[in-house]
Amino acid sequence: MAVLRASKQALRKDLKRRLAALSAEEKQRQSLVLSRKLLEHPKYISSQRVAVFLNMDDEVRTEEIIRDIFKRGKSCFIPRYLSSSSHMDMLKINSLQDLEKLPLTSWNIRQPSDDCKSREEALSSGGLDLMLMPGLGFDLNGGRLGRGKGFYDTYLRRCSEHPIGKPYTIALAFKEQLCQKVPVGSNDVLIDEVLYEEQ
């Protein structure tokens, strides 16, 4: 366990260095390429209930995707992280205007407030068809390196217990985030697919 933790920490450090070297223009350029790829993806086209992360500065930009989810009349769910634990819910947002009214967290991303009880949580209703995954690093065998809090792994295990089951998971990755092999342990949930800009 200690060896796994140490190798994850070392890889996180390396990936943060790689991401820090990416210019804002390059992040924007790759994000647009990936958004277009996703919008043509059969799993996205057929999905009705989509969970999407609101990106931090070192993650693929998701604004275009969110705009398209609303344009196509799909249901859009975004994360609400409880910083005191590894608990996360996926709460429904109704429009771009609704999203823009949400408070900012210390990570500088918008999310419904901790005491918000009025929004639909994906697992208390019809589950999710598709979940877009953030992360620091990914390999092509489904390995994903997050930030160490376990939010997504915990949530995906909860999804597995829902009648509809686990959604299809697609990670959105800058090509600088691809790794030969991400160290994974028994608590890490593998993802179905990584979208990145192929050479």
Which whole number is the average pLDDT over 131-154? 92
User: Is-contact 163 140, C-beta < 8 A?
Assistant: no
Does residue 122 have a pLDDT over 90?
Answer: yes
**pLDDT tens, position by position, 166-180:** 999 999 999 999 999
165 is in an annotated binding site: no
Q: In whole angstroms, what is the distance from residue 61 CA to residue 89 CA?
A: 21
Residue range 72-90: mean pLDDT, rounded: 89
Q: Is 96 annotated as a binding residue?
A: no
* pLDDT (tens digit per residue) in 190-199: 999 999 998 6
Q: How far is it, in rounded angstroms, from Cα 198 to Cα 175?
A: 8
Please check if 152 is assigned to a binding site.
yes
Residue 149, annotated ligand binder? yes
Of the candidates 193, 153, 171, 164, the one whose C-alpha atom is nearest the C-alpha of residue 48 is: 164
Q: Rounded mean pLDDT of 68-80?
A: 96
Task: Please check if 9 is assigned to a binding site.
Answer: yes
Confidence grade of residue 150 (pLDDT, cut at 50, 70, 90): confident
The pLDDT value recorded for residue 199 is: 67
The domains located in the chain, with CATH, are 1-196 (3.40.50.10420)
More confident residue, 82 or 93: 93
Is 144 within any annotated ligand binding site? Answer: yes
Q: Is 12 annotated as a binding residue?
A: yes
Burial (CB < 10 A; 0-12, 13-18, 19+), residue 39, is middle
pLDDT at 156 over 80: yes
The whole-angstrom separation of Cα 146 and Cα 152 is 8
Per-residue pLDDT reduced to its tens digit, 10-42: 899 999 999 999 999 999 999 999 999 999 999
143 labeled binding residue: no
Say if residue 49's pLDDT is above 80.
yes
Average of per-residue pLDDT across 156-168 = 90
Name the pTM for this structure. Answer: 0.93
Neighbours of 169 (CB within 10 A): 23
User: Is 19 known to sit in a ligand binding site?
Assistant: no
Tokens standing for residue 162: 């829902």
